[in-house]
Amino acid sequence: MVYCHLLGNTYAQDLHFSQFFNSVLTTNPANTGFIPDADYRLGAQYRNQYSSLMAAPYKTISIFADAQLLRNQIENGWLGIGGVILSDVAGTGGLKSNKVYGSLAYHQQLANSSLLSAGFNIGWANKRIDASKLSFPDQFDGKFFDNTLPSSVILTNSTVNYFDVQAGLNYAYFPTEEVYINGGYSIHHINRPQETFFSGPVDSSRVRVRHIGFLNALLKISDRLIINPNMYYTNQSKSSELLLGMNANYNLSESGDKQFIIGLYYRAGDSVIPMVGFELNNIRFTFSYDATTSSLNTFNNMKGANEFNVIKKGFYNESNSSTHQIFCPKF
């Protein structure tokens, strides 16, 4: 049984997950089809944030799939194809976001111990809001906000649609069967689409370019233990996020088809994120919890967000599993 780690998303515009390492396609399109221990991969994530603070908390759902193509037709290389659907509901105004992306990547092995990947995706995004649920400063009557009062704030549109483009590069280095190192960089919203419910200057309403960088390693400590340190950084306009942490997989069976997973992460200046999980026959379940450490914990009692993830990996033909080249440590 193999445990391979690939990266995958608080930002001003974008959705995000604390389990960034399980949201591979939203982190970098070059991850598409980079599945060293299988032919295809299916995954889903759910995040619930600030339910202790808000009557309508932030809820985010992601569903993705990717697969390898032409692995036996391209010498030391292959294509990856995939897609991801994102859905998010935020706040009492009923702000809803739905995004669909299709991605393509090419992977080329360099010599015997490294791999270079490049990929891009193109997506469609839809955002809509219920203006009847919003209140504005000029609707404050001295005691309460009354959204039945007239307001000078006018929403030109209640729905926004746009196309979106991302691109990225990844590099993996695997000098031995016990060591795997992977790093990558991606740039999002290359086309800077316009996103606004108001009329006004076009440039001020464009989505800002977002940069994501990551570095991770898989280190086989023993036949029972593989550790996985990670570093992730993203920047968009004046908003940035840095996460540091580590997972550990403990082998519970001789074949490695049963694994216990535990991890701990830190989002700089914001939260500590413990994680626990279990893997059985190439299906991995993980649960994490954001415990707020910033000044916000005075109001939410450290109850930040909870997140659940499931990933299934497999082969087109199970007979391929014995001949599939593996790049990272395995049990």
HEC assignment per residue over 218-243: EEECCCCEEEEEEEEEEEECCEEEEE
Q: For residue 270, give both structure tokens.
A: 């914001």
Q: Is the pLDDT of residue 123 over 80?
A: yes
Q: Say what the pTM is.
A: 0.86
Domain chopping of the chain, boundaries: 20-138+159-322
Alpha carbon 123 to its chain's center: 15
Q: Is the pLDDT of residue 83 over 70?
A: yes
- What is the per-residue pLDDT across 207-234, written as a single tens digit (0 to 9) for each? 999 999 999 999 999 999 999 999 999 9
Q: Bigger pLDDT: 100 or 282?
A: 100
Residue 3 is predicted with a pLDDT of 42
Residue 286 is predicted with a pLDDT of 97
Residue 90 is predicted with a pLDDT of 75
Reported as a pLDDT band with limits 50, 70 and 90, residue 330 is confident
Average pLDDT of the residues of the chain: 85
67-76, 147-156, 196-205, 268-277, range with the lowest pLDDT: 147-156
DSSP annotation of 208 reads: P
Q: Bigger pLDDT: 224 or 58?
A: 224
Q: For residue 101, give both structure tokens.
A: 């992306």
Residue 228 is predicted with a pLDDT of 96
- What is the per-residue pLDDT across 6-51, written as a single tens digit (0 to 9) for each? 443 333 347 778 999 999 999 999 999 998 788 999 999 999 976 5
Distance CA 308, CA 276 (A): 10
Reported as a pLDDT band with limits 50, 70 and 90, residue 312 is very high
| Residues with Cβ within 8 Å of residue 168, at least 6 apart in sequence | 28, 29, 30, 31, 118, 119, 120, 184, 185, 186, 187, 212
User: Which span out of 84-93, 155-164, 167-176, 202-211 was modeled with the highest average pLDDT?
Assistant: 167-176
Residue 254 is predicted with a pLDDT of 81
Query: Is 6:184 a contact under the CB 8 Å cutoff?
Result: no
- Section 169-196 average pLDDT: 93
Residue 12 is predicted with a pLDDT of 39
Distance CA 175, CA 328 (A): 10
Which ranges constitute the DSSP H helices of 213-318? 297-300
Tell me which architecture the domain covering 20-138+159-322 has in CATH. Answer: Beta Barrel (2.40)
Residue 301 is predicted with a pLDDT of 65
Q: Is the pLDDT of residue 107 over 90?
A: yes
Residue 73 is predicted with a pLDDT of 87
Q: Is the pLDDT of residue 201 over 90?
A: no
Reported as a pLDDT band with limits 50, 70 and 90, residue 92 is low
Reported as a pLDDT band with limits 50, 70 and 90, residue 152 is low
Give percent above pLDDT 70 in the chain: 79
